[in-house]
């Protein structure tokens, strides 16, 4: 499967008429960090230059995977269309058939075609599995991850599963929830790749501390995530939702609902990772408020968290 991180050239930022807004926002957020704490200037200056010169390494998608994700995002995509797209990538097709013949999905006989594999899974499960298998390498093989890979992937899967449960009752975004949760922090991969290469650019070979890298990623990941998705030609509303996930109440238009879902999915995943309380009334006020936007109380959030944990265990084994 041809998913890799590559250097962005002048045409690599995606759509020909795409704006520099997300790149500018990332630079502004990084520079604000350096103004607040001058010790960050040494890392922020080359970071800003890398963005301005389009030399920041962003994850890229093969045309096959890009086509598959576009089909999956479409609510009226047919099984035959998805099967044909998967079949055009032999490595992905082999993995999907392997998943269909695993103990998780095994039927009375072994499937021998991609279409039969997807049919065995069912359209919703098939979409989920294809997304996970197709994007797993983008996350786990990105430069600079090291020991962080498992934690990043776990948070992505937990968030994706939680978002899927929420969007199952939102017609506009019903098929987009899982994918939105899976890629909502994609921007941090660009920062980690930058940090892994930075020592080679420094005269003394110095590297930022893990804490400095984490801080830089935290203030820029929404902008860079939107930039990456724009480079993948995702719809503008999807990019806006990822960009606005930290302040969904300030997002306008159709992106506002998905931004709120991403915020809620992220909070659910974060709470799971730090221990879900035994009593629903002990949930964080911010999490309860995020759930209330969608009419979800503490008990329903607990149910969603349980589903997300179960899905993570199953998907982590299959992917």
pLDDT tens-digit series, residues 227-257: 999 988 889 999 999 999 999 999 999 999 9
**Strand ranges inside the chain, DSSP E:** 4-7, 57-60
Q: Treating both helix axes as pointing N-terminal to C-terminal, what angle do 90-100 and 123-140 enclose, rounded to 10 degrees?
A: 120
Note the pLDDT of residue 263.
Answer: 98
Confidence of residue 147 (pLDDT cuts 50, 70, 90): confident
Q: Which domains does the chain have, with CATH numbers?
A: 4-61+141-318 (1.10.3210)
Tell which residue, 59, 65, 47, has the closest CA to residue 142: 59
Lowest mean pLDDT among 8-22, 53-67, 206-220, 261-275: 8-22
pLDDT of residue 12 exceeding 70: no
Note the pLDDT of residue 127.
Answer: 79
- Tell me the pLDDT tens digit for each residue of 277-306: 999 999 999 999 999 999 999 999 999 999
**pTM passes above 0.85:** yes
Note the pLDDT of residue 75.
Answer: 65
Q: CA dist 149 to 26, 212, 229, 274, Å? A: 23, 18, 20, 18
Strand, coil or helix: 296: coil
């Amino acid at each position: 499967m041809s998913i890799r991180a590559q250097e962005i050239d002048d045409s690599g930022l995606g759509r020909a008429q795409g704006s520099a807004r997300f790149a500018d926002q990332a630079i502004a957020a990084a520079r604000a960090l350096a103004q607040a704490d001058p010790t960050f200037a040494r890392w922020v200056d080359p970071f800003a230059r890398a963005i301005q010169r389009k030399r920041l390494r962003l994850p890229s998608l093969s045309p096959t995977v890009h086509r598959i994700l576009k089909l999956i995002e479409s609510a009226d995509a047919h099984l035959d269309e998805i099967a044909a797209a998967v079949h055009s990538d032999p490595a992905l097709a082999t993995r999907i058939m392997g998943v269909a013949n695993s103990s998780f999905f095994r039927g009375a006989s072994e499937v021998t075609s991609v279409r039969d594999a997807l049919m065995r899974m069912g359209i919703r499960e098939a979409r989920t599995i294809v997304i996970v298998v197709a994007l797993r390498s983008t996350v786990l093989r990105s430069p600079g991850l090291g020991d962080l890979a498992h934690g990043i992937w776990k948070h992505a899967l937990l968030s994706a599963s939680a978002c899927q449960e929420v969007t199952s009752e939102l017609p506009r975004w019903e098929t987009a929830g899982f994918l939105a949760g899976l890629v909502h922090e994609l921007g941090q991969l660009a920062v980690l790749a930058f940090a892994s290469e930075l020592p080679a650019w420094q005269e003394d070979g110095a590297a930022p501390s893990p804490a400095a890298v984490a801080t830089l990623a935290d203030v820029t990941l929404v902008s860079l995530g939107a930039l990456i998705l724009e480079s993948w030609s995702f719809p503008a509303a999807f990019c806006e939702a990822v960009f606005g996930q930290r302040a969904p109440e300030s997002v306008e238009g159709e992106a506002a609902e998905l931004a709120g879902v991403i915020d809620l999915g992220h909070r659910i995943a974060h709470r799971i990772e730090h221990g879900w309380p035994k009593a629903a009334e002990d949930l964080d006020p911010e999490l309860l408020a995020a759930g209330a936007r969608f009419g979800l109380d503490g008990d329903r959030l607990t149910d969603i968290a349980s589903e997300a944990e179960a899905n993570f265990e199953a998907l982590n084994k299959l992917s």
